[in-house]
A = this chain, B = another copy of it.
């Protein structure tokens, strides 16, 4: 389905506009698919994201600002996101002894277990879309997107 069909556009668009809409819409399709996947686990996409970052710390705690900067979408509210994860006992939160302004967030075993259970489903989620194009096209798509968003001035 072309992007013009998706938005039922009557007029012809140029490629610059189409690319923008294609990226916005494709992100949407991916996100909807992903939300379906995590819905049974009572996790939002952003909450999942935070858990992934925490697991990546390999046992070390992460400060709020570290979580913040690793997130794709700058969320502006890491506190309340971590609040939710705390309620579900997926993380612990403690004041950093060295610098009492900082907070140390650590993933719990329960959090790790949920991620483990989700891992194969997330892999499958990634594969489903990737399978639509060849490995060469996949690499090309990555390169084009990286080039596309890099302002060269």
- A residues lining the B interface (CB < 8 Å): 1-3, 6-11, 15-31, 56, 69-70, 72-73, 126-133, 135, 137-142, 144-152
User: Judging by beta carbons under 8 Å apart, are B19 and A150 in contact?
Assistant: no
Contact residues in B for A22 (Cβ distance below 8 Å): 141-142, 145-146
The DSSP consensus for interface residues of chain A is helix
Alpha-carbon distance A146/B138, docked complex (angstroms): 13
Residues in B neighbouring A128, C-beta threshold 8 A: 151
Supply 6 A–B pairs (Cβ within 8 Å), ascending by A: A8-B70, A19-B129, A19-B142, A25-B149, A29-B149, A141-B141
A140→B142 contact, CB < 8 A = no
Copies assembled: 2
Cα distance A137–B141 in the bound complex, in angstroms: 10
Asked if A130 contacts B15 (CB within 8 A), the reply is: yes
Q: Which of B7, B9, B27, B132 contacts A24 (CB 8 A)?
A: B27
CB distance from A153 to the nearest CB of B (A): 9
Task: Determine the distance from Cα of A6 to Cα of B69 in the docked complex, in whole angstroms.
Answer: 9
State whether B149 touches A72 (Cβ < 8 A): no
